[in-house]
Structure 1
């Protein structure tokens, strides 16, 4: 605003002629506060009975943390990959004495408290016709000797949006200390539909129990892409080109009803796939035994039946990218967290990844959602 409304050149009065507006992004630092809950006591003058309002339910019995504070700690760790010891250091800078063990106790308590909700997510995921599956390593501290064992996180995703399904998407995580086929077999107990996964043989036990398996063309493409990048092989480039033609069809039918997707695939993708199969067999005969290109072709041919299953079912996808997207935060977290504190901590982590991952799939603010849940869950049957 000018100091004077007079023209700096001629000295006469000026009038408003518009304005320029600009914006500056600013930050208001987080503020921590202590909430005092006062519960007055009343005593009857006649019978001496004392009456007082019941104490407010807390997430942790006799705990000092609010739902919002605990939700922040969990979201910082499991969604934004900030380890607990770094959070403890941040609290210390604010003059708050909260050590890592206290924060870990909060996480464990909430992980146990949320189990009924995680069970509901599992029931919803397993009720779908098709789900995506994947797993990743989870180094876990072994109590007693300070060493780590290799645990695993498994994830199962239900996402019906690509075929115009109305059910909300969800992801269910499980933790284990092994990668044996008994793990997914147990996880998938009661499921009778189609599982979309990579070529890991551990799912074979589940397939033998009646589950149908669909393959992943993204994994096949990756094999050829690595060869093309390393050697500029024209055969690998041609394979990628043919796979991309299949993906163009998928992009054009994304979000369409299952019957329309199946019809378009039969009309457009089936001829391309038949020609691709003949081409792969021809190139395999021309490859040197044991070559990288030969291995890539064999990888596709050995699981051909599962790779072409999506052509017959409009509910099924061309790849398993839904599961890979859902499990990617764990890979990022692994770089920061270093390891899970214990096997029990791994199970709690699976519960929290399930909650936060499902919130993310539904475009819900995970901190706001978790805060709302924690405020209510102790009072909910």
Structure 2
């Protein structure tokens, strides 16, 4: 941006200060500060409900150069609390573009702090761990900014799934589709719904807290547990519901937060990661085939376990692991038609390595039909 943009800052809770130029709202904005290594797809990132309540640092050196459009968002609005980048392009050019990134973010009062040394910031978050931060105007944090930072809640213990979830059930896909599933919305992305539709599956999307008996009364061919933000162990209403449905031998598929909730449901636990996995370059190994997938991910919590299994959950087998840090990336129940992955198979970072998981779920639906 140009020099007419006001000076701004990002202050982390450990006292580290980063200076830049502020674009958009100038009121103090506080949230957990995380980074993503995606080189493209900024509109999908900023509209992903899994980023709710977070200030997102972009490691790509420039964003905004291809604008925004009406087809790519993963939800109805920007979900991030703030954006930090090295360079925010003053112009955009793309045949699909319908507007600029700064204008689109401004519609949701999302500030952008640009001209920041994002390499230094990312390395700091990698070394120290993600933490809370405040974006404000000027070069020196005001008392108001400091007070806002002190009052910002930790992501640990925070249930954000109920905040982003739909309030009313709705349908997605062709009414005459051969299969029908129910999707619990903990922060579902639109591309997941598009892929279900492409596989001949009609989806009824329901609130995150819908009771199991109401879902079972719909007699679905399967149930999907979506991605979402926040601490999985704070979604205390979900495990009993998931177990009730799973024990009826209804095929179940979980992604991201849904994966974590399945782990908790059957006796496991989750832990907050130092800086999480956010980006489109995460290597994951399929323990059954030995194949390595390059995956897209966005999470700050992980199911505690190893290739040998999940602590406290003997009924769960680990199917995938992350090759960078060994964390659990996939689970399946040993006797029930239930499986889940930590990564996003609907958000292929280039090759469609993980899309066959939708085929696996479709096979489970056919099997149940007999």
Please classify the TM superposition score into its range, dividing by the shorter chain length. Answer: under 0.3
Higher helix share: 1
TM-score by length of 2: 0.23
Higher strand share: 2
Which structure's relative contact order is higher, taking Cα pairs within 8 Å and 6+ residues apart?
A: 1
TM-score by length of 1: 0.23
